[in-house]
Chain A
Amino acid sequence: MTEKTLTDEKLITAAREGDQNAFQELVRRHESRVAATVIGMLGRCAEAEDVGQETFIRFYRGLKKFRGESGVGTYLTRIAINLSLNELKRRRRRSVLFFSRPIEEAYDIPDPKADSELNEDREMVQRAIQKLESKFRSVVVLRLIDGYSTRETADILNVPVGTVLSRLARAQDKLKELLSPYIGDER
């Protein structure tokens, strides 16, 4: 039986016993979810790739502790969102020390290759999300990009459901303002 046909649980058991191919298959399987979370939070940049790698390294180190109470995807999303929020804090500190321009501009350096792959609309939406404060950005990423329910988003961020709802409402207002020309074109 190849790794591709195994369930996540079986791959985790194999990885715990030192099977590197099993862990690599887990990385392949969950890359898209982690990428959506991390790139949604940080934009397409070198730091996003680092945070993505670090997410899987933390998961690897914590394999023995993983009890499977939540799915592998949710567990990885939790690590990814926390690491992304830490990275945003670091950015803010660095921007205070080294940059005179706004942090969103300082890090708004899209990967040229990725940029050409993205159509104009997707690019505009990603840029608008990057302009949100991190606490609003995290709910937008988890709820609207990753597709978690409001309850799951609250659990991942460790905040009450009401907080998620109010942050979503405020984030949507801001996004509506930022994306109004685009939404106008759609109609």
Chain B
Amino acid sequence: MNKKAIELLYRSFDDSLTPREKEQLEEALAGSKELREEKERITAMRGAISASAAKSFKPFFAERVMRRIASTRERSRSAEAFFESLQYAFRRVAVVGATVIIALAVYNFVKTGDVSVAGVLGMPQETLEEVLESPFDFTLEELL
């Protein structure tokens, strides 16, 4: 079969051909039994594919969709309610927490007069050596 004619035949199903191309295809079809058979084969195949389309899901599909939408709405409503109560609780805890931190900071400042962050937060000022120093300060001879 003529390669160009085959290509035109295939394209004719899905793309628009120019008048010249249409003419060429018509001529090729008129002159080739094989090409006409190929056209029939493709038409039959495309028809069979088109006819294989499913028409619906199982019965009561719309009802099942509506039930899922209703349960999704219910879930999102309870999630919203939970988030709102969380926000409400957090606001109160946050205010109390901030008040306690400020009160402790003022207390530490008044007590030590230290304006550094460590001083205001009441943290002991120790060097790394002091931290790493062994609390058991004795020698082996003393032990024996």
Contact = CB atoms under 8 A, between A and B. Distances in A.
B67 to A, nearest CB: 9
18 contacts: A20-B69, A24-B62, A35-B55, A35-B61, A53-B61, A121-B48, A121-B51, A122-B52, A125-B49, A129-B49, A144-B50, A145-B52, A145-B53, A147-B50, A150-B15, A172-B45, A175-B45, A186-B44
Nearest to A145: B53
B101 interface: no
A10 interface: no
Interface stretch (A26-34, A65-73, A96-104): A26-34
Contacts of A176: 41-42, 45
Nearest to A55: B65
Contacts, number: 106
A129 B45 contact: no
Nearest to B76: A61
A98 B98 CA distance: 53
Interface string A30-47: 011001100110001000
A182 B61 contact: no
Contact of A187 (B41, B58, B66, B69): B41
A49 B57 contact: yes
Interface string A110-134: 0100000000011001100100000
Given A165-B14, A172-B42, 7 more contacts: A24-B62, A32-B56, A53-B65, A125-B51, A145-B50, A183-B44, A187-B41
Contacts of B11: 165
Interface string A160-184: 0000110011001001100100110
Name the 9 nearest CB pairs between A and B, nearest first: A39-B54, A125-B52, A27-B62, A36-B53, A144-B49, A122-B52, A145-B53, A56-B65, A35-B54
A186 B48 CA distance: 10
A52 B61 contact: yes
Nearest to B38: A176
A107 interface: no
Contacts of A168: 14
Interface of A: 20, 23-24, 27-28, 31-32, 35-36, 39-40, 44, 48-49, 52-53, 56-57, 60, 111, 121-122, 125-126, 129, 140, 143-147, 150, 164-165, 168-169, 172, 175-176, 179, 182-183, 186-187
B45 to A, nearest CB: 6
Contacts of A56: 65, 69
Nearest to A27: B62
Given A27-B66, A165-B11, A49 B48 contact: no
B51 to A, nearest CB: 7
Given A32-B56, A186-B44, A23 B49 contact: no
